[in-house]
Amino acid sequence: MDKPPFRQNQNCGDWEFKERLGMGSFAHVYLYQNHDTSEKIAVKMCRLELIPRNKDRWSREIQIMKKLNNLNVVTARDVPEEMKHIALNDLPLLAMEYCSKGDLRKMLSKPENCCGLKESEVLSLLNDVGSGVQYLHENKIIHRDLKPENVVLQDVNGKLVHKIIDLGYAKDLDQGSLCTSFVGTLQYLAPELFENKPYTVTVDYWSFGTMIFECSCGFRPFLHNLQPVQWASKVRSKGPKDIMAVEELNGDVRFSTHLPYPNNLSRTLLERMEMLLQLMLKWDPVQRGGKTNADSKKPQCFEVLEQILCMKVVHILNMTTAQVHSFQLVPEESLHSLQRRIETETKIELVNQELLQETGVSLDPRKAAAQCVLDGVRGWDSYIIYLFDKSLTKYSGPFSARQLPDEVNAIVCSSFISKSQLPLVVLKKVWGEAVSYICGLKDDYSRLFQGQRAAMLSLLRYNTNLTRCKNGMFAFSQQLKAKLDFFKSSIQYDLEKYSDQMHYGISSEKMLKAWQENEGKAAAYAQVPVSHLDEEIMSLHSEIVELQRSPYARRQGDVMEQLEEKAIELYKQLKMKSPDPDVSSDSSEMVKAIIQTVQNQDKVLRDLYAHLSKILLSKQKIIDLFPRIEKTLENIKDADNTVMQMQVKRQREFWHLLKIACAQNSARNSIAASPELSNPLQVSQWAQSAQPISNPHPLTSLPGPNDSDAAPRLLQENQKYLSQLTSLMQEAADEQSKSIVVSWDVFSQPARLVMDAWYSVNAVSYISVLHVTTFSAVC
């Protein structure tokens, strides 16, 4: 019984039909999704009755797919049981992993890619497809039909990965190392295939090289407007290193060993890519790919490919000229060495170079130059370092302008003379280059804006450091102020007490003068300049806030984006026109879009650099402030140290005074205990004669005129104070022995007690005359 025809909306158990993904020469590919798990698979199904040879091909594809396991080759899946019944022609279904990002042809067909993919995308293609092709060859399989339609893209952990599909034309080398069957798509076939000659794995080198060329430049390398049957005879005479052939308007064929401009490859990569293509696009299949390395068993082309992928390249955007410079790093190269190379190429002296990452962080001079390269990130469009000249705060050019392709320049120049008509075939390529140029102008502005943003982030980092320094300076100044306030109040108190002491005959002109000088010094130190620095810093903070709020701190590329969209739309409309070679058209609308984009870019760049100059000027102001803040901090610390030294000196003077007072008291006690003073009346008379002229402190222990028992009591009280003072002196001495600098904490507690004891001793010493001559001699 015949199977019912397949319906595109047919569901199979838990598997729901979603859409048709593609159509080949005799098969369709459909997308199914599982209801329960949401898993998606691509199911390939024959749609025609096949001749025996194609049935073999179908079966061989399934066999090959099931035995392969590589990240860059699409993986086969088990066909769900409930889906097997929809197979037609008694041929099994082929289930594969679903790659959701489309194929390489879809990417190449985008108007913005009409002159090639971005460098990062080209390098990703080299890595993935190169890995897949080598894996197939290691498993003795020739693909024979490598083309953009047979490379699909999948998102793997946030990274776009290329996978090779459609192994229907693949040939297992176990069946013989030379094959003669005519297969594959003509545009990407090696010459020996469409000439039906024996071939080997080198046919994949040709197809892969053709893909690489197209992804780099936007078109195939050899007379891309012609079929291989037409161009084969013309290209056969190419040189061994020729990688491109174009037909001039006069019919002549021009060969080249270089990749054409425009493309999106950096100079460093361009040279290696040309070397790789010269190996892969050799006409002679025996020489194609280069010699095989005896050790690695790899052909030269894959060794060059590996060298390209292993290159560590630093891309530097010189913000003073808007030019990108690329440097391939040597192993273990230092940042200093890289900067020397930058100096040679940009003429910016090493000492004036500032290299910033996108985050505004400066490169670390202690680390290797490899810090400029991120692991797994390739291409100057993906990651770039921004170079600034620290000796300048205003960048006035001249700025490096994007080169206008020759043919685009020709239509722009001719538009001012007459509306020249060009054949549509030629016009499509020229307009494609024009679209690429307009997209490039927008990208150039975006990179420069990112450089301005890096400068702003760097300014904010400097501003954060400035705030930290300001806060530190303010904290130190407040500490100094507190110490000065304490010191001045302490001196004022001492001077008051000194005046009181003078009534009892205790004085020292030397000590008085020193205290008065210290009071003057303390007043001078209070004048350390902090307030005016604080005002400057606050003013600078306001400037930076205004810079952040400025409209030029945000992208101004809206007009360029609109012009880009306009150019892309014009290009799409042109591609939809009839390919009749006799039909011509003028380029006035595209030329208008080019001129408007150039004019708008000039305007936004003037605004960008004006804003950038303000950022750099503010940053220089901060840099200039740092030495002044540092000098102020030094002055504050010097003042702090001097105040501490003055305070320590005063403490020593107190200890000298106390020492004398204690010594005199001890002497008086000895006198009181001697037989000569054993008579209480004599002691009373001596005490009365020792009383000061002015009224004494109202101590209860002071003797009255009729107090005959006062002397013994006073001696006992004096002895008690002497014991207390001796104990405190010992305690303070112990504290001082623990530190070579007397801290304020040490002074604050024992010193107050000592001063209380000192005043107490003075009060008791009213009955013990301290001679000025003895005190002055010690001081």
In this structure, the chain runs to a length of: 779
What CA–CA distance (Å, rounded) separates 356 from 334?
16
Exactly one of 90, 103, 128, 145 is catalytic; which is it?
145
- Per-residue b or e along 332-356, where b marks 16 or more CB atoms closer than 10 Å to that residue's CB: ebebeebbebbeeebebeeeebbbb
Sequence-ordered list of residues with C-beta below 8 angstroms from that of 202, at least 6 positions apart, any chain: 190, 285, 286, 288, 289
Residue 414, amino acid: S
Residue 18, amino acid: K
What CA–CA distance (Å, rounded) separates 614 from 611?
5
DSSP for residue 394:
-
Is residue 145 among the annotated active site residues? yes
DSSP for residue 691:
S
Q: What phi and psi values does residue 163 have, to the nearest 5 degrees?
A: -130, 135
Number of neighbouring beta carbons within 10 Å of residue 663: 13
Dump the DSSP string for 201-270.
Answer: THHHHHHHHHHHHHHHHSS-SB-TTS-HHHHHHHHTT--TT--EEEE-TTS-EEEESSPPSS----HHHH
- The residues with which 670 forms a beta bridge, in sequence order, are none
Residue that the structure tokens 């293609």 belong to: 125
Number of neighbouring beta carbons within 10 Å of residue 420: 14
- Rounded alpha-carbon distances, angstroms, from residue 30 to 8, 96, 155, 166: 8, 10, 19, 14
Strand ranges in 82-158 using DSSP code E only, listed in sequence order: 94-97, 141-142, 151-156
Consult the annotation and say whether 44 binds a ligand: yes
Residue that the structure tokens 């001129």 belong to: 595
DSSP for residue 323:
E
Range 553-556 contact pairs with CB under 8 angstroms and sequence separation of 24 or more: 553/456, 553/611, 555/446, 555/449, 556/449, 556/604, 556/607, 556/608
- The residues with which 386 forms a beta bridge, in sequence order, are 317, 356
What CA–CA distance (Å, rounded) separates 736 from 754?
14
Query: In the structure encoding, which two tokens stand for residue 108, read together?
Result: 């190449």
Q: Peptide bond preceding 398: is omega within 30 degrees of 0, i.e. cis? A: yes
Sequence-ordered list of residues with C-beta below 8 angstroms from that of 465, at least 6 positions apart, any chain: 622
First to last CA, the chain: 130
Sequence-ordered list of residues with C-beta below 8 angstroms from that of 381, at least 6 positions apart, any chain: 118, 119, 120, 264, 443
Q: What phi and psi values does residue 745 have, to the nearest 5 degrees?
A: -65, -40
Q: Are 483 and 745 in contact (CB under 8 A)?
A: no
Of 175, 101, 103, 187, nearest to 142 by C-alpha is 175
Q: Based on the number of CB atoms within 10 Å of its own CB, is 597 exposed (0-12), middle (13-18) or buried (19 or more)?
A: buried
- Rounded alpha-carbon distances, angstroms, from residue 203 to 58, 158, 273: 21, 33, 19
What CA–CA distance (Å, rounded) separates 126 from 582?
39
DSSP for residue 7:
P
94-97 vs 40-46, strand pairing mode: antiparallel
Residue 509, amino acid: E
Summarize the annotated binding site for ATP as residue ranges. 44
Q: Which residues are catalytic?
A: 145
